[in-house]
């Protein structure tokens, strides 16, 4: 059995993170010492690592909650349910990558327009391009 500080250290999170997951009903703390300290099991550590890995992959807490429910009660769920959650996240990541690639190309073009010398920025090609782009880009870009 682990106290909250020990569990946090083993999982690479803070005790406040564990308390937050408890408030979100993603973790439980039903066992306590006589002094009222929370005690956690190896199963709790596995669950915390599961949650942490899910957050590192960018899943929402709701998606992690769904994956946890599938993990806890696999007899009443299918792999298709887990896969659909992962596919949704994958599509989000691919869309974000596409946005970042567009941003990278735009920044590269801006970078390529500048001579990069130490002359005055009164006629800086980057600043001019940004100013012109502000008039021609649709809002939100």
Contacts of 106 (CB under 8 A, 6+ apart): none
Strand order in the sheet with 2-3: 2-3, 38-40, 31-32
CATH code, domain carrying 9: 1.10.1660.10
Average pLDDT, the chain: 88
In a domain, 83, yes or no: no
Query: If you average pLDDT over each of 39-43, 119-123, 124-128, which comes out highest?
Result: 39-43
Backbone angles phi and psi of 3, in degrees to 5: -80, 165
The total number of structural domains in the chain stands at 1
Confirm if 54 and 64 have CB atoms less than 8 A apart: yes
Q: How far apart are CA 45 and CA 47, in angstroms?
A: 5
Let me know if residue 107 belongs to a domain.
Answer: no
Does some domain include residue 115?
Answer: no
Tell me if residue 24 falls in helix, strand or coil: coil
Q: Which domain, by its residues, includes 34?
A: 2-77
**pLDDT band at residue 135, thresholds of 50, 70 and 90?**
low
């Amino acid at each position: 059995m682990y106290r909250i500080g020990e569990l946090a250290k083993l999982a690479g999170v803070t005790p406040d993170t564990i308390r937050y997951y408890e408030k979100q009903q993603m973790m439980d703390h039903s066992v306590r010492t006589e002094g009222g300290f929370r005690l956690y099991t190896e199963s709790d550590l596995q669950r915390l690592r599961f949650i942490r890995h899910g957050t590192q992959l960018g899943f929402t807490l709701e998606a992690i909650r769904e994956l946890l429910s599938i993990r806890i009660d696999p007899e009443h769920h299918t792999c298709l349910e887990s896969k659909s959650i992962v596919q949704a996240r994958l599509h989000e990541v691919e869309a974000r990558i596409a946005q970042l690639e567009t941003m990278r190309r735009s920044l590269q073009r801006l970078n390529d327009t500048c001579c990069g010398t130490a002359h005055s920025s009164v006629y800086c090609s980057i600043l001019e391009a940004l100013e012109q782009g502000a008039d021609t880009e649709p809002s939100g870009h």
